[in-house]
Structure 1
Amino acid sequence: MDLFADTPVVLPNAELRFIPDWLDVATADRWLAGLLAETPWRQPQVFLHGRYHPVPRLLAWYGDAEAGYRYSGLIHQPLPWTPLLAEIRLQVQAAVGQRLNGVLLNYYRDGQDSMGWHSDDEPELGANPLIASLNLGGTRRFDLRRNGQTRIEHSLELGHGSLLVMAGATQHYWQHQVAKTRKACAPRLNLTFRLIRS
């Protein structure tokens, strides 16, 4: 499949591509079951406003040996690629046409697990990073707003087997979040592949 033949999400100063049915259901089901079974989930603490708080989701960082990653004041040393994650990485790299040497797995157990507003703009990602976000399991809303603004300008429903790619200047001008919700939602696993420039 040619990723960039798909209809882009048109936002100023952003380069976004969203493929809702990138994976067939059987493959998405197999990847989800395998990753949930094999991943050693962690729930680190972050220091905010003078107190430690548990991150509101479970996570794991995998990558090449040199792909250490720092964000939210935490340093993540990569776990080595499993055969399943190596298979997934090959397919994602083929879709986006770029080498990717690390992946952050976020496990949202229910609607109270979330990801606050942020940009993926850490120095080790380089000037215009490509972030490939693979979604497995329950559907969650993904919001975008301009840097410095409070109003949500665009939202996407990220469902089972979908792929969202953020590239170009997106991280300079836009923030994104996965907000808490009271709606019932199935557990969701999100894999964000990226290239760490050591």
Structure 2
Amino acid sequence: MELFEREKDPNKNILPFDGTVNYFGKVLDQKEADKYFSILLDSIEWKNDEAIIFGKKIITKRKVAWYGEEAFEYTYSKTTKSALPWTQALLDLKLLIEKQTGDTYNSCLLNLYHDGSEGMAWHSDAEKDLKKHGSIASLSLGAERKFAFKHKETKIKKELILENGSLLVMKGSTQNYWLHRLPPTKRVFGPRVNLTFRTILKKRDL
């Protein structure tokens, strides 16, 4: 297992093969990151996430929200969400991310982790609603957390620390070959907001 501490070259691929992940480091300074963190905590319509696991409905402590340019439906973990209209803060951040990445996005899934006890299990973002091999831009605000990748076949793992105001981009065949997760930790006590900007296929494109 390799740990990429503060790897900040956006042109360097963190993954050794079968995909592309770039870490841009901080794209917002401390003041801007803290400002948007506070705005999103107060203005986003947060709800506890739901998932169907082995036929049972599970309610998570982690909270989520789904926004987009249209009322896109997005299905994962056997539950479906309908996108809310963009807020001004989300539009501002979307524009910033699009300038950084050179890609465009029409939706954003937000996650609120109240402390280190809340995380995300191994998964890949390969739902049929998403643009195949499209760019997924992950903006982190608040507490720093470790983020991990694991190859589906070789089980090779890669890890890095996501800083407050930092940007991570996954694209190409990454979701086909790699899983990712946010492991829980007893060392983090503060909240974290994660925004994943993505492209949902419109009905005519399906």
TM over 0.5, shorter chain: yes
Letter matched to residue 21 of structure 2: L
Q: Render the CA deviation track for 1:94-133: whole Å, top value 9, x for unaligned.
A: 1111220000010000111111111110112132121000
Q: Is the 8 A contact 1:93 1:100 kept in 2?
A: yes
Pick one of 83, 87, 102 that aligns with 2:88.
83
- 1:146-165 aligned at under 5 Å gives the runs 146-148=151-153, 151=155, 153-165=157-169
The letter for the 1-side match of 2:36 is: W
Residue 175 of structure 1, aligned match among 176, 179, 201: 179
What is residue 108 of structure 1 aligned with on the other side? 113
Q: Work out the CA distance in 2 between the residues paired with 1:44 and 1:193.
A: 18
The alignment status of 1:135 with 2:140, answered yes or no, reads: yes
Determine helix, strand or coil for the equivalent of 2:112: strand
Q: Which runs of 5+ in 2 are unaligned?
A: 1-7
Give the SS at the match of 2:47.
Answer: coil
**2:47 counterpart of 1:42:** yes
- Is the counterpart of residue 9 in structure 1 residue 4 in structure 2? no
Kindly tell me the number of residue pairs found equivalent between the two proteins: 195
Percent identical residues: 35
- 1:5, 1:182 → 2: CA distance? 30
Q: Show the counterpart of 1:70.
A: 75
Contact 2:133 2:173 (C-alpha < 8 Å) held by counterparts: yes
Partners of 1:56 and 1:135 lie apart in 2 by 19
Question: SS at the partner of 1:105?
Answer: strand
Q: Is the 8 A contact 1:56 1:112 kept in 2?
A: no
TM-score, normalization: structure 2? 0.89
Where does structure 1 lack aligned partners over 5 or more consecutive residues?
A: none
SS in 2 for 1:52: strand
Indicate the residue corresponding to 1:51 in structure 2. 56
1:50 Cα offset (Å): 3.2
TM-score, reference length from structure 1: 0.92
